[in-house]
Amino acid sequence: MIPIAKPYLTEEEAQAAYDTILSGWITQGPKVQEFEEKFAAYTGAKYAVAVSNCTTALHLAMIVASIGPGDEVICPSMSYIATANAIRYVGATPVFAEVEPDTYNLDAADAEARITDRTKAILLVHQIGMPADIDTFKDLCSKYNLKLIEDAACAAGSAYKGAKIGSHSELVCFSFHPRKVISTGDGGMITTNREDYYDRLKLLRQHGMSVNDRVRHEANRIIFEDHVELGYNYRMTDIQAAVGIKQLEKLDWIVEERRKIAAAFNQAFNGIDSIRLPQEHEGYFSNYQSYSIYLKDTAAVSRNTLMQKLLDRGVATRRGIMNTHRETAYKNYAPDVSLPVSMELQDNSIILPLYVPMKPEDINYVIDCFKKEILPVAQIKLCYRKEQG
């Protein structure tokens, strides 16, 4: 079976975790600080704060942005449910907006049309690693005096207009889940250029404690901590951070390899009229965290039938990105919302396997199986004759 994804972890990561375990310092400590400093340098942000996962990162971002009950935050429904959940955690209301059909990212015109006097922020998702149009949304937020928060769960290593995702706005949240481009088992990071956000994020992730464990441990005098506000236990461990440091060293190479696989898919599937391939516009650089294809109504097979046929051939796939407003937890939350583009993309998109390292024979097998199922027999024969020259 060719899986949908696999994390790229080697003996280096295992050794780093082993060494950290034997050091005696396994909770948040010096390795977390090192990972934060290196991740900030990589993205070009001034600061980075490591947390337990991207959902907790989004939660803390909402808090430091002063979003709370009575506020509205515009976000896509077409995103993993954690995007909207983080808004609800602080008592605010997610207002779902439409996405662009070619990028799966938030549609600026539709988002603007949903702004009200209660709107406090826009939560911009870089869907499956494809950067959203950050500058357009920064201008929109400036126009209406809104906060811009980036959900970059899938976007480590992606870039927008020549700069890494993580450096463009005040709060950018990343994930290190195993389905992402680099992984720490689970984990998250928040980048920011604001010192006040940085200081408060560090406070909030550790119970609101005024002095962290590492500082007390390294002190040559007695220090008693105070808990200065309601905080959370959202810490990353040093074991995870040690793995993350090694993963970060390989990130650019991993992205390069992922882009090679995506290019192979693009070349193989180009010219098939019944599908739409991922669109990477000028100035946008995707890490291809996932490779999603949209099936037009002229396709020879339905999306669900295609998924089953590929599974029967030993190729795992996933459906198009979920629409949060269609999930049971949100069924009565926004019953009147109209998002035809988002729903069409969810129902008719398929995500193909893409991971590093992916054997050339596996890449070719995925291509061959996809073509055999998506194309009519006559077109398969035509494609084969063209490939043979």
Catalytic site positions: 180
Cα of first residue to Cα of last residue in the chain, in angstroms, is 31
- For the CA atoms of 34, 40, 43, 46, the dihedral, rounded to the nearest 10 degrees, stands at -160
**Cα 248-251-254 angle, rounded to 5 deg:** 145
- Tokens 């250029």 correspond to 193
CA distances from 18 to 15, 23, 240, 301 (A): 5, 9, 11, 49
Q: The tokens of 327 are what? A: 């999930």
Query: What secondary structure letter does DSSP report for 389?
Result: -
Beta strand 163-164 with 159-160 is antiparallel
Alpha-carbon gap, residue 365 to 383, rounded angstroms: 16
Indicate left, alpha or beta for 283 from its phi (over 0: left) and psi (-120 to 50: alpha).
left
Alpha-carbon gap, residue 142 to 136, rounded angstroms: 10
Alpha-carbon gap, residue 97 to 115, rounded angstroms: 10
Beta strand 318-319 with 349-352 is antiparallel
Query: Which of 179, 175, 137 has the alpha carbon at shortest distance from 156?
Result: 175
3-state DSSP assignment of residue 207: coil
**Cα 168-148-344 angle, rounded to 5 deg:** 100
Query: Which of 102, 162, 172 has the alpha carbon at shortest distance from 137?
Result: 172
Q: The tokens of 340 are what? A: 């035809």
CA distances from 118 to 81, 82, 121, 275, 339 (A): 22, 22, 9, 40, 21
